[in-house]
Amino acid sequence: MAASLYLRTPKLTPSFHTLFRPLSISTTKSLNLPSTSTVDFFPPPLTHHHLHRFYATRAQSTEKGKFDFDLFTIGAGSGGVRASRFAANMGASVAVCELPFATISSDTSGGVGGTCVLRGCVPKKLLVYASKYAHEFEESCGFGWNYVTQPKHDWSKLMANKNAELQRLTGIYKNILSNAGVKLIEGRGKVVDPHMVDVDGKTYTTKNILISVGGRPFIPEIPGNEYAIDSDAALDLPTQPKKIAIVGGGYIAVEFAGIFNGLKSEVHVFIRQKQVLRGFDEEIRDFVGEQMALRGIKFHTEESPQSIVKLPDGSLSLRTNKGTVDGFSHIMFATGRRPNTKNLGLEGVGVDMFKNGAIKVDEYSRSSVPSIWAVGDVTDRINLTPVALMEGAAVAKTVFANEPTKPDYRAVPSAVFSQPPTGQVGLTEEEAVKEYGDVDIYTSNFRPLKATLSGLPDRVFMKLIVCAKTNKVIGLHMCGDDSPEIVQGFAIALKAGLTKADFDSIVGIHPTSAEEFVTMRTPARKIRSSNSEGMTGEVKAAARV
Ligand X SMILES: Cc1cc2nc3c(=O)[nH]c(=O)nc-3n(C[C@H](O)[C@H](O)[C@H](O)COP(=O)(O)OP(=O)(O)OC[C@H]3O[C@@H](n4cnc5c(N)ncnc54)[C@H](O)[C@@H]3O)c2cc1C
Site for ligand X in 217-236 (CB under 6 A): 231
Site for ligand X contains 116 (CB under 6 A):
yes
Active site annotation includes 510? yes
Contact between 425 and 491 (Cβ < 8 Å): yes
Among residues 115, 265, 275, 422, which is the contact residue for ligand X, using CB under 6 A?
Answer: 115
Contact between 439 and 429 (Cβ < 8 Å): yes
Q: Checking DSSP bridges between strand 323-328 and strand 243-247, what pairing results, if any? A: unpaired
Shortest Å, Cβ 269 to ligand X: 15
Site for ligand X contains 385 (CB under 6 A):
yes
Site for ligand X contains 191 (CB under 6 A):
no
Nearer to ligand X, 252 or 399 (CB): 252
Among residues 98, 281, 303, 429, which is the contact residue for ligand X, using CB under 6 A?
Answer: 98
114-142 burial, b for 16+ CB within 10 Å, e for fewer?
bbbbbbbbbbbebbbebbbebbeeebeee
Among residues 91, 114, 305, 421, which is the contact residue for ligand X, using CB under 6 A?
Answer: 114
Nearer to ligand X, 113 or 437 (CB): 113
Shortest Å, Cβ 203 to ligand X: 14
Site for ligand X contains 97 (CB under 6 A):
yes
Q: How far apart are the first and last CA of the chain?
A: 25
Nearer to ligand X, 126 or 309 (CB): 126
DSSP SS3 for 257:
helix
Q: How far apart are CA 346 and CA 359, in angstroms?
A: 9
Site for ligand X contains 381 (CB under 6 A):
no
Strand ordering across the sheet containing 330-333 = 298-300, 266-270, 243-247, 330-333
Judge residue 187's burial from the number of C-beta atoms within 10 Å of its C-beta, 0-12 exposed, 13-18 middle, 19 or more buried.
middle
The torsion angles phi and psi of 154, rounded to 5 degrees, stand at -110, 100
Q: How far apart are CA 143 and CA 150, in angstroms?
A: 17
Shortest Å, Cβ 252 to ligand X: 5
Site for ligand X contains 99 (CB under 6 A):
yes
Among residues 250, 376, 423, 426, which is the contact residue for ligand X, using CB under 6 A?
Answer: 376
Nearer to ligand X, 76 or 353 (CB): 76
Site for ligand X in 387-426 (CB under 6 A): 388
What residues are paired with 268 via a beta bridge? 245, 298
Site for ligand X contains 9 (CB under 6 A):
no
Dihedral angle, C-alpha 153, 156, 162, 167, nearest 10 ° = -170
Residue 189 is labelled as binding a ligand: yes
Contact between 464 and 545 (Cβ < 8 Å): no
Quick one: which segment of 42-50, 84-92, 103-111, 257-265 binds ligand X (CB under 6 A)? Answer: 103-111
Site for ligand X contains 77 (CB under 6 A):
yes
What residues are paired with 72 via a beta bridge? 95, 209
Contact track, ligand X, 310-349, x by CB under 6 A: ------------------------------x---x-----
- The H or E element containing residue 54 is helix 48-64
Among residues 68, 281, 377, 481, which is the contact residue for ligand X, using CB under 6 A?
Answer: 377
- Beta carbons within 8 Å of 156's beta carbon, 6+ residues apart: 238
Rg of the Cα atoms in the chain: 24
Q: CA nearest 75: which of 308, 289, 379? A: 379
* Amino acid at residue number 68: D
Residue 252 is labelled as binding a ligand: yes
Residue 255 is labelled as binding a ligand: yes
Among residues 91, 110, 289, 413, which is the contact residue for ligand X, using CB under 6 A?
Answer: 110
Nearer to ligand X, 79 or 537 (CB): 79
Quick one: which segment of 147-155, 164-172, 385-393, 473-481 binds ligand X (CB under 6 A)? Answer: 385-393
Nearer to ligand X, 255 or 516 (CB): 255
Shortest Å, Cβ 372 to ligand X: 14
Q: Checking DSSP bridges between strand 69-74 and strand 202-211, what pairing results, if any? A: parallel
Nearer to ligand X, 174 or 472 (CB): 174
Contact between 378 and 211 (Cβ < 8 Å): yes
Site for ligand X in 233-262 (CB under 6 A): 252
Binding residues for NAD(+): 248-255, 336
- Which residue numbers are catalytic? 510
Binding site for ligand X (CB under 6 A): 74-80, 97-99, 105, 110-111, 114-116, 119-121, 124, 188-189, 212-214, 231, 252, 340, 344, 376-378, 383-386, 388
Binding residues: 125, 189, 248-255, 336, 377
